[in-house]
Amino acid sequence: MKKEVLIKKGAEASLYLQNWHNRKVIMKKRLSKKYRIPELDKTIQAQRTKRESQIMHKAKEAGVSTPIVYFVDLQNSTIVMEYIEGKQVKQILNEMSPNERTKIFTCIGELVGKLHAAGIVHGDLTTSNMILTQKGDIVFIDFGLSEQTWEVEARGVDLHLMKRAIMSTHFMYADECFKAVLDGYQKVMGKKAVAEILDKIAEIERRGRYITER
Amino acid sequence: MSNGYCLGIESTADDFGVGIVSFKGEILTNINNSYIPEKGGIHPREAARHHADVAGKVITEALKRSKIEPKDLTLIAFSQGPGLGPCLRTGATAARSLALYLNLPLVGVNHCVAHIEIGKLTTGATDPLTLYVSGGNTIVSAYELGKYRIFGETLDIAVGNCLDVFVRELGIKFEGGKAPGRIVEELAAKGKKYIPLPYTVKGMDLSFSGLLTAAVSLLKEKKCNIEDVCFSFQETAFSMLTEVTERALAHTEKKEVLLTGGVAANSRLQAMLKIVCEEHNARFFVVPKEYSADNGVMIAWTGILSYLHGITVPVEKSFVRTKWRLDEVEVPWVEKRSLN
């Protein structure tokens, strides 16, 4: 491997940009967490590395773009994957017109629908984990907390967390954005599934702390 | 304006606390009287009865120790929510009586905001990412545009609640003043073997109910020694908390982390967060022990901040709000900053 450039030190992993067999790749190295005891740390690292690479592949089968996985090294908790040219949705949202925002969030909703229809929940659907490419496609990244499940509960939590992420980061237009997400989601999952998931989200929110409607 | 004194009453759960703070932020007294159940958890009615019994005594004692006269007071503040209805109403009644009798303005304070504000006052943190952990709450929050936004929280029980129930299952009676978290901490220090337990992090949210169920089952099976179970339980719960705090820190890019609430006193949790802060070049602050658990001082101080920004509540509208969320509260005293 040639020289590597650290491009992002996230909470979970460090991302290095490097040239790997003449390909521009991202090397995602999960960091050993010094605050965790080694036994717990190793289990979590290996589990998430394995799951992430497997689910990234499954997502593609479901029609959701994710980086191509070139190499997985479980010993070192490392995944070598395709570098995606583009910008995080979080970075560009403020520059968008309301129409563009609606369009992009409808598209995101469709993609989440496709994942859920294929039995995948992403687990961390923040706008930092979605990249808009120059061609206008949306690529989902960071499947580190994803799960394979068909449970409505898990899908509900997935969307609930997304709603919360939008509300805390893009509170100025959170309502319109989440509505667009649901519109897109409905295109894939159908009306009945959306009604079901909305009930679930409401139930999850009621389970939370200090909800006035309870 | 800067020469007043506020008396704050805290009564959201098992503690009845009275604090007196000057408008400059000097803490004159911090008196607390806790309801200790005979067995089991907090019975709201019994706790409220306790508060009613001790209210007069605690308020008198606070005034005596602060060396100021009732006529020197400028403001009365009380915890208006969130919390247990009967307990909140008892504290509110005491506060209303004082406000009416002394003819002073009344401020209703959000208990969660108060935990953050006392942390900022006592540590000097200015714009922190806050991990607020207690018997009733587990919240990762930071200020953005007028409110303390919630980035992560528990999806079911609070971590302190999880610790409390776990300790009761251990069969150890709460000794006077010794927090359940402290009991687990001491036992965990003697544990060596890690037993895998449910580790549930969902984005920046957490769930502790599965961990509690599994840990209690381990205790009941009696196959593992108690120290190892405590060790595993504590490592799992605190690693989860630290993970979501780190994720929120990376997401918000704040330069400070504040640990507050009753569970903040745990040294293992402090050590974990300290490591994260060092790695992210953030400054780490822990609320001093005497202000980590529920107290009247934090209510008094937040009452002052509110009052100086024109927030008061007429007695006839001072209903308690048992489910008042942190992110509903406008906090105009915090300097306006926007994301990025």
- pLDDT for B124 equals 96
Q: With helix as H, strand as E and coil as C, how does B288-333 read?
A: CHHHCCCCHHHHHHHHHHHHHCCCCCCHHHCCCCCCCCHHHCECCC
CATH number of the domain where residue B71 is located = 3.30.420.40
Residue B178 in any domain: the answer is yes
Residues A115 and A185 in one domain: yes
| Average pLDDT over chain B, rounded to an integer | 93
> Chain centroid to CA B186: how far?
22
Determine, yes or no, domain membership for B334: no
Backbone angles phi, psi at A8, to 5 degrees: -155, 130
Q: Which of A41, A73, A124, A158 is catalytic?
A: A124
Tell me, yes or no, whether B233 and B317 share the same domain.
no
What pLDDT, on the 0 to 100 scale, is given for residue A214? 39
Q: Is residue B93 part of a domain?
A: yes
Which domain covers residue B168, as residue numbers?
126-289
On the question of pLDDT at B198 being above 90, the answer is yes
With contacts defined as CB-CB under 8 Å, which chain B residues touch A126?
203, 251
Annotation says A124 is catalytic: yes
- A214 occurs within a structural domain: no
Q: Is residue B242 part of a domain?
A: yes
Residue B335 lies in a domain: no
In this structure, are A118 and A197 located in the same domain?
yes
User: Count of domains in chain B?
Assistant: 2
What sections of B103-179 are H helices per DSSP? 111-123, 159-170
Q: Is residue A55 part of a domain?
A: yes
In this prediction, residue A9 carries a pLDDT of 76
User: What does the alpha-carbon distance between residue B123 and residue B271 come to, in Å, rounded to a whole number?
Assistant: 17
Chain A CB contacts of B150 under 8 Å are 164, 168
Which pLDDT score is estimated for B2? Answer: 67
Half-sphere exposure of B75 (CA within 13 A, CB side): 32
The reply to whether A53 and A155 lie within a common domain is no
DSSP state of B222: T
Within a domain: A143: yes
The domain in which residue A137 lies consists of 86-207
A123, exposed or middle or buried, with CB in 10 Å at 0-12, 13-18, 19+?
buried
Phi, psi values for residue B264, rounded to 5°: -60, -25
| Tally of domains within chain A | 2
| Residue reference for tokens 């808009």 | A132
Residue B311 φ then ψ, to 5°? -95, 115
CA distance B219 to B97: 48
* Type of residue found at A100: E
Residues A139 and A195 reside in one and the same domain: yes
Task: Answer whether residue B337 is part of any domain.
Answer: no
What pLDDT score was predicted for residue A38?
95
More confident residue, B240 or B201: B240
Q: Residue B137: name the closest of B119, B158, B163 by CA.
A: B158
CATH number of the domain to which A157 belongs: 1.10.510.10
Residue in chain B closest to A172 (alpha carbons) equals B145
Element (H, E) at B282: none
Q: Which two tokens stand for residue B323?
A: 């489910």
3-state percent breakdown (helix, strand, coil) of chain A, nearest 5: 50, 20, 30
Kindly list the residues from chain B whose CB atom is less than 8 angstroms away from the CB atom of residue A40. 194, 196, 199, 235-236, 239
Judged by a CB distance cut-off of 8 A, whether residue A10 touches chain B is: yes
Query: Are residues B9 and B296 in contact, defined by beta-carbon separation less than 8 angstroms?
Result: yes
Question: In a mutagenesis test of the A interface, which of B88, B228, B279 is the best target, namely the one with the most A β-carbons within 10 Å?
Answer: B279
> How many cross-chain Cβ pairs, A to B, lie less than 8 Å apart?
92
pLDDT at B28 over 80: yes
Rounded to a whole number of angstroms, the distance from the CA of B323 to the nearest CA of chain A is 4
Does A211 lie at the interface with B, CB-CB under 8 angstroms? yes
Mutate which of B111, B156, B202 to disrupt the A interface (most A C-beta within 10 Å)? B202
Q: Please indicate, yes or no, if residue A212 is contained in any of the structural domains.
A: no
Q: Band the pLDDT of B340: cuts 50, 70, 90.
A: very low
DSSP assignment of A103-143 equals HHHHHHHHHHHHHHHTTEE-S---GGGEEEETTS-EEE---
What average pLDDT does range B288-317 have in this prediction? Answer: 96
Look at residue B203 and tell me whether its pLDDT is greater than 90. Answer: no
Closest CA in chain B for residue A147: B202
Q: Which residue of A has its CA nearest to B141?
A: A168
Cα distance from B129 to chain A (closest Cα, Å)? 13
* Final residue in a domain of this structure, among A24, A47, A82: A82
pLDDT score of A110 more than 90 = yes
Residues of A in contact with B239 (CB under 8 A): 33, 35-37, 40
CA B141 to chain centroid, in Å, comes to 13
Q: Are residues A48 and A102 in the same domain?
A: no
- Provide the ipTM: 0.83
Q: Name every chain B residue with its beta carbon within 8 A of the beta carbon of A171.
A: 144-145, 149
Q: CA B222 to CA B233: how far, in whole Å?
A: 15
- Cα→Cα distances A168→A69, A142, A173, B147, Å: 31, 20, 11, 10
Helix spans in chain B (H): 44-66, 85-102, 111-123, 159-170, 180-188, 209-221, 226-252, 267-279, 296-308
Q: What is the mean pLDDT of residues B217-232?
A: 94
Tens digits of residue pLDDT in A55-98: 999 999 999 999 999 999 998 999 999 999 999 999 998 888 99
Torsion of CA A81, A121, B156, B88, to 10 degrees: 90
Asked if B273 reaches chain A (Cβ–Cβ under 8 Å), the answer is yes
Q: Closest Cα to residue B128, out of B285, B310, B340?
A: B285
Of A28, A52, A82, which residue constitutes the final position of a domain?
A: A82
Best of A210, A213, A214 to mutate (most B CBs within 10 Å, chain B): A210
pLDDT tens digits for A38-52?
A: 999 999 999 889 999
The partner residue sitting opposite A128, judged by closest CB among B144, B235, B251, is B251
- On whether the CB atoms of residues B266 and B238 are closer than 8 A, the answer is yes
A12 touches chain B (CB under 8 A): yes
B138 and B280 fall within a common domain:
yes
Contact A14, A29 (CB under 8 A): yes
Q: Residue B272 is encoded by which pair of tokens?
A: 């974990």
Tell which wins on pLDDT, A171 or B176: A171
In chain B, residues 65-84 whose CB comes closer than 8 Å to chain A: 81-82
A72 lies in some domain: yes
